[in-house]
Amino acid sequence: MIELLRVALRNLMQQRARSLLTLLGVIIGIAAIVALVSVGEGLQYAVNEQFEKMGMDKIMVMPGSPDSPGLSGMMFGMGELTDRDVKIIEKVGGVEMAAPMILESAIIEMGRETAYTYVAGMPVEKKIMKMIEDMQGYEIRAGRDLTESDKYAALIGYGVENDLFDKNVRVRDKIKINGRTFRVVGVMEKIGSRMDDLSIIIPLEQSKEVLNKTDYFYIIVDVKNGEDVSKVAEKIKHDLKKDRNAEDFNLQTSEQLKETAASILGIIQAVFVGIAAISLVVGGIGIMNTMLMAVMERTREIGVMKAIGATEKRIMSIFLVESALIGLLGGVLGIALGSLVSYGVSLAATSYTSIPIKTIVAPYLVVGALAFSMVVGVISGAYPARRAARMDPVEALRWE
Amino acid sequence: MRNIIELRGVSKIYQLGKVEVKALDKVSFSIGSNDFISIIGPSGSGKSTLLDVIGLLTKPTLGQVFVDGVVTTEMSNDQMAEIRRKKIGFIFQTFNLIPRLTALENVMLPMWFAGVPDSEKKERGQQLLELVGLGHRINHKPNELSGGERQRVAIARALTNKPKIILADEPTGNIDSKSGKQIMDILIKLYKDEKKTVVMVTHDNSLAKRARKRIKIKDGKIIRRAK
Ligand SMILES: Nc1ncnc2c1ncn2[C@@H]1O[C@H](COP(=O)(O)OP(=O)(O)OP(=O)(O)O)[C@@H](O)[C@H]1O
Ligand SMILES: [Mg+2]
C-alpha cells in the first residue's frame, strides 16, 4: 500500500501542471462546501444567539397584514399601531408589559456638522428599559441610562460617538435631532451590528414630537412568567381584531420568529450546499478527464505491466490510488482554503453588516469533507481505472 | 526431455471487417525445457503473434497452448497473469522500460507484482543488474542509457522472478550490431548456464543460426524446422 502511494505520487508529479489543475478543481469544490456550510452554521448560531437574548417569552406586534406584510399596507393604507392598541394589549391577561417603539431616520446636527441616522423612541420606565437592554444586549459605557425624569436626553451608540461626526460625541454634548436640542447622557458599548451602533435612543414622548409620529414601528409584549406565550398571543390577536375590525396587523411570538428564521436559513443553507456540491461534481469530472488521459498515455506501460505479471486488480489499484490521492489532497487543501474564506467572511460580516457572524468549521465538517473528497476521487477514477485494468495486453503493447 | 511449451493446432484469426487475417494458421510444435529456439520469417508472417500466444498475452482463436504441462485455454486473465509472472520473462524490441523509473526500479517492478519483500527486491535487483554488466548504472533513468544498456536492463527485468522461459521479440532489432552481440551472448548464457528456455524472434539470419533450433514461419504457418 505504501508502495502504491509512492507510485501514485510519482505518477502525479510527472504531469505536474495537469495534476495541479485537476487538484484545483477539487480544492475549489471542497473549499466552497466548507466555507458555505461553516458560514451557514455561523449564521444559524448568530441568529439563535439573538433569539436567546430576546428571550422566548416575547410577542412582537407590527403593522401590516399577516398574509402579505408590507404590500397590503402600501395598497390599502397600513393599519397603524397607536396608544389605543397598547392599552388593549396591556389589558390582556398574562401580559407583563407592552413596550411600543418608534424608529425613524432623522437629521442630526452637532456644531456645524449635519448627519443622518436612526432615532429610536422608547418608553423610559425602568423595567421597560431593562427589558429592551436585555433584548438588544446593550450596556452603558459612559454616562448613564435614560431615566423616567429624562426629557430631551439621548443615549448614543458607539458608531454615533465615533464615526458620525468629525469630532467624537461625548457625554454632556448637545446635539440637534430634527432641530430640537438634546443632551447626550450616555454612550453605549459597541454592540457589533452597524445599525444598532448608529442609533440614538430618546424617550418615547420626545420622539413622537421630533419625529412627528403617533404610530409605532412595533410593540414588544413581555409575557408573564409561567404563562403560555402562544395562548397569550391568540388572546391579543383576538382583542385587537375585535377593536380594529380588521386583521391589519401582524403578530409573532419569539418562537415563531425563530422558526421562520430557522427555515429561511435552512433553505439558504441547502441552496449553498447544492451549489458547492455541483462545483465538486465538476471537480470530479476533472479528475475523470485527467485519469482517462493518463490511462491513454500510459497504455503501453499498462501492456508492459501486464506482460510482466500484474493482475487486473493491481493495475486498477494503481490508477484508483492516484485518483483517490487527488481527491484526498484536494480535500485537505480545500478544507484549509475553505476555513480561510469562512474566517474572512466572519471578519467582513462583523465589520460591514448588522449580523456579527462567528463562523465555525466543525470537526464533523472536516471529516465529512475529507471523506467526501476521497469518495469523489475514487468514483471519478473508477471508470478510467477499470478501463486500464481491462486493456488487452497485446493491443496495449502495440500502441503507438 | 519434458515439454515446457506445447502448441496444438493453434490459429489466431483477426477479423478486419469482412476480411479474415490468419496471423497464425494451425501451428503445432513443442519446446523442451532448456532449449534455444529462434523464429525467423518475413514481416507480417505472424512471429510476434506466435510469441504473444506462447507468452499467454493473448488466447488463440483455435487450438491449445500448454505451459509446463498445464492447458491454458480455459484460464482467466489473472490466472494467465500469474503464469506470466512466475514462469515467463519478456524482452521486447523497443525495450519497454518505464521511463519514470530508474534501471533498478524497472527491474524491481515484477517483484512488486509478485509481493517480494522490500529488502530482497533491492538486493536481487542489484544482483541482476550486475549480472548483465550494469552494476554501475542502477540509478540511471532509461533515457540516460544507450540502447544496448536499456535492453540489458530489460533482460534483468525479465529474469527477476526466476522464470523458466524467456521470450524475446527481436531483442537486437533496435540496437547496433556490437551491442546486439552482447545481448545475444547473454541470451546464450541464460540457455547454457542458467538452463532457461529461450525463444527468440529475429530478422538476422546470422543471429538465428546461433540458436539450437530454428523455426521458419510464413503466412502464419511453420514452413521449416532446422537443427
Ligand atoms: N490486432 C490486429 N488486428 C488485425 N490484424 C492484426 C493484428 N495484429 C496483427 N495483425 C496481423 O497479423 C499478422 C501477423 O502480425 P505479426 O505482428 O505477428 O507479424 P510479425 O511477423 O511479428 O511481423 P514483423 O516482423 O513486422 O514484426 C499481420 O498480417 C498483421 O497485420
Ligand atoms: Mg513482430
The CATH number assigned to the domain holding B146 equals: 3.40.50.300
Rounded CA-CA distance A82/A296 in Å is 78
Check if B15 has its Cβ closer than 6 Å to any atom of ligand 1: no
- Give the domain range for residue B90: 35-59+76-226
**Cell numbers of A193, please?**
451590528
- How many domains, in total, are found in chain B? 1
Query: Would you say residue A78 has pLDDT above 70?
Result: no
For chain A, what is the domain count? 2
Note whether A7 and A35 are same-domain residues.
yes
- How close A377 comes to chain B (CA, Å)? 24
Cβ–Cβ below 8 Å for A301 and B57: no
Decide if B15 is inside a domain: no
Domain shared by A240 and A120, yes or no: yes
How far apart CA B142 and CA A398 sit, in angstroms, is: 19
Instruction: Decide which of A210, A245, A280 is a domain's last residue.
Output: A245
- Indicate the SS3 state at residue B66: strand
- d(Cα A226, Cα A104) in Å, to the nearest integer? 35
- Is B85 within 8 Å of chain A by CB? yes
Distance between CA B90 and CA A385 in Å, rounded? 24
Q: Please indicate if any CB of chain B lies within 8 Å of the CB of A307.
A: yes
Per residue in A249-259, pLDDT (tens digit) is 888 888 888 88
Asked whether residue B212 is assigned to any structural domain, the reply reads yes
State which of A215, A245, A275 marks the end of a domain. Answer: A245
Q: Per the domain annotation, does B8 fall within a domain?
A: no
Q: Is B84 on the interface with A (CB under 8 A)?
A: yes
The helix or strand, by DSSP H or E, that contains position B39, with its residue range, turns out to be: strand B36-40
In whole angstroms, what is the distance from residue A141 CA to residue A152 CA?
20
What pLDDT digit, counting tens, does each position of A169-198 carry?
889 999 999 999 999 999 988 877 778 888
User: Can you count the helices (H) and strands (E) in chain A?
Assistant: 14, 10
Indicate whether A186 and A330 sit together in one domain. no
**What confidence tier does A82 reach under pLDDT thresholds 50, 70, 90?**
confident
| pLDDT score, position A399 | 85
**Ligand with the closest atom to the CA of B47:** 1
What is the domain range of residue A199? 80-245
CA angle A318, A322, A323 (to 5 degrees): 125
Residue A132 pLDDT class (50, 70, 90 cuts): confident
Rounded mean pLDDT, B158-179 = 91
Q: Does any domain span residue A115? A: yes
Judgement on whether residues A237 and A266 belong to the same structural domain of the protein: no
Q: Is the CB of B38 inside a 6 Å radius of any atom of ligand 1?
A: no
Please name which of A158, A154, A280 lies closest in space to residue A206, comparing C-alpha atoms. A154
Say which range, A223-232, A291-300, B183-192, has the weakest mean pLDDT: A223-232
* Mean of all residue pLDDT scores within chain A: 87
Same domain, A112 and A186: yes
- Residues A323 and A380: beta-carbon distance below 8 Å: yes
| A170 shares its domain with A271 | no
Whether residue A86 is found in the same domain as residue A226:
yes
**Residue B4 covered by a domain:** no
Domain assignment present for A86: yes
In a domain, A71, yes or no: no
pLDDT at A86 over 80: yes
Nearest ligand (C-alpha, residue B92): 2
Determine the Cα–Cα distance for residues A305 and A311; give it in Å rounded to an integer: 9
Same domain, A227 and A302: no
* pLDDT at B194 exceeding the cut of 70: yes
For residues A284 and A370, membership in a common domain is answered with yes
Q: How far is the CA of A239 from the centre of ligand 2 (A)?
A: 100
Grid coordinates 510527472 are at which residue? A14
Q: Are B105 and B140 in contact (CB under 8 A)?
A: no
Structural domain ending residue among the three candidates A245, A269, A294: A245
Give the closest-approach CA distance of B57 to chain A in angstroms.
6
> Rounded distance, CA B170 to CA B201, Å?
5
Judge: A311–B81 Cβ closer than 8 Å, yes or no: yes
Same domain, A294 and A361: yes
Confidence of residue B48 (pLDDT cuts 50, 70, 90): very high
**In this structure, are A177 and A230 located in the same domain?**
yes
Mean pLDDT confidence for A107-117: 90
Give the closest residue to B180 by CA, choosing from B199, B206, B213, B156.
B206
Does residue A121 sit within a domain?
Answer: yes
- For residue range B66-88, list pLDDT tens digits in order: 998 899 988 999 999 999 999 99
- A64 in a domain, yes or no? no
B 40-69 → A contacts, CB under 8 A? 52, 55, 57-58
Grid coordinates standing for A249?
396587523
Residues A241, A265 share a domain:
no
